[in-house]
Structure 1
Amino acid sequence: MQKKSIGIIVGSIRKDAYTKKIADFLISKTPEGYSLETIDIADLPLYNQDYDEADEPENYSSFRKKVKAKDGIIFITPEHNRSVPAALKNALDVGSRPHGKNVWDGKPCFVISSSVSGISGFGANHHLRQTLTFLNMPTLQQPEVYLPNVQDYFNDKGELIKEDTASFLIKSLKTYLDFASKFIK
């Protein structure tokens, strides 16, 4: 039986991003029958419609192929100014173009947001969901995952140390995979 392949888009491109640590935790808890892997967005040139009509950057082609090959997508985003980071918005734009070739189309997705404050990325989470609706991505509605004060969740080795959060993330991942399986052919 072929494993179902889920891509993880980490919204922050910072080297030691908390969102990357959350992704690593989820990857370490991948259940049998699935594979989870991050899809890097750090090297994507800013979306430019001129590339749709001429020489497409190799980074665009490679990124689009990786997303297209996935059965579903997990987005893990911090909040920047009550929205998603520019790198994440750029990745969404690159994947949705050129017009009529949206690689996100129909892929079931799951949104996790975090912040170093008590707001937990609420604005980014909901702004992202609005974009995902437009991109025709069925999005898991419950549970909603908002992680406040995320800097307190990890030890110096980057390991998740909050047991209640670990348990919640594992349960949420399972719920997402059950949801996604309804859309995966």
Structure 2
Amino acid sequence: MSQYRIAVLIGSLRRESINRQLAHGLFKLGPADFEFHECRIDDLPLYNQDDDSHQAAPVKRLKQEISGAKGVMFVTPEYNRSVPGVLKNAIDHASRPYGQSAFAGKPAGVIGASIGSIGSALAQQHLRNTLAYLDMPTMGQPEVFIHAKEGLFGDDGQIGEGSRKFLQEWMDRYVDWVKSHS
């Protein structure tokens, strides 16, 4: 049985998302005592502060999943040089109302892929700024900005041979990061 449950927020809703495939590949690189749970964010209403006193059931579920986790992993594409709106919406919901953030103190890892040559570098930078405000100790190194191209994934859909060692190093560092903050 796992000792470390990790809430995973994937910034893409697309079924065939590169970032969803990346996340699932990363899960397989994690140790046996880590369990990765992909949090559903496609059913969240748009954030409206008027709803803070009566949050919708999907919002309560998301907050509970994050609160019950030992850490959070963000796997995000880059849309228009920033994080996708759906991910920002989920972050806004789970961090509200003010003083009741599910994120506070949770160790975070940020990673992502994009078809652009800089990967998701700018989205990750914007996300890191938000996570700093939310009081999430966020792993700084190694930074991983993946240019999604041929060979990133093998025929079996898992992390390709050429990227496996590099991404295993990221996962090992993330595991150590979570353990050091537990």
Q: How many residues align?
A: 182
How far, CA to CA, are the matches of 1:69 and 1:8 in structure 2? 12
Cα distance change on mapping 1:15 and 1:52 into 2, 3 Å:
same
Aligned to 2:17: 17
Q: Contact between 1:18 and 1:151, CA under 8 Å: does it hold in 2?
A: no
Aligned positions of 1:87-106 closer than 5 A: 87-106=86-105
Q: Deviations over 1:132-181 (max 9, x none)?
A: 000000000110011013465235653332x2311111111111111111
Q: Contact between 2:6 and 2:73, CA under 8 Å: does it hold in 1?
A: yes
- Residues 1:45 and 2:45 aligned together: yes
Aligned to 1:69: 68
TM-score by length of 2: 0.94
Aligned positions of 1:27-176 closer than 5 A: 27-53=27-53, 55-150=54-149, 152-155=151-154, 157-161=156-160, 163-176=161-174
Q: Contact between 2:77 and 2:120, CA under 8 Å: does it hold in 1?
A: yes
Cα distance change on mapping 1:2 and 1:80 into 2, 3 Å:
closer
How far, CA to CA, are the matches of 1:123 and 1:56 in structure 2? 31
How far, CA to CA, are the matches of 1:150 and 1:170 in structure 2? 18
Give the secondary structure class of the aligned counterpart of 2:76: strand
Q: Unaligned regions of 5+ residues in structure 1, if any?
A: none
How far, CA to CA, are the matches of 1:90 and 1:151 in structure 2? 31
How far, CA to CA, are the matches of 2:151 and 2:119 in structure 1? 12
How far, CA to CA, are the matches of 1:21 and 1:100 in structure 2? 34
How far, CA to CA, are the matches of 2:37 and 2:22 in structure 1? 12
Cα distance change on mapping 1:95 and 1:151 into 2, 3 Å:
farther
Q: Contact between 1:72 and 1:180, CA under 8 Å: does it hold in 2?
A: yes
**For the aligned residues, what is the CA RMSD?**
1.5
Q: Deviations over 1:40-80 (max 9, x none)?
A: 11111111111113x32101111110110000011000000
How far, CA to CA, are the matches of 1:172 and 1:164 in structure 2? 14
How far, CA to CA, are the matches of 1:132 and 1:150 in structure 2? 28
Q: Unaligned regions of 5+ residues in structure 2, if any?
A: none
Cα distance change on mapping 1:34 and 1:49 into 2, 3 Å:
same
Give the CA deviation at 1:2: 5.7
Q: Contact between 1:116 and 1:151, CA under 8 Å: does it hold in 2?
A: no
For 1:85, the aligned partner's letter is P
Report runs of 4+ in structure 1 exceeding 6 Å deviation: none
Q: Contact between 1:27 and 1:37, CA under 8 Å: does it hold in 2?
A: no
Give the secondary structure class of the aligned counterpart of 2:65: helix
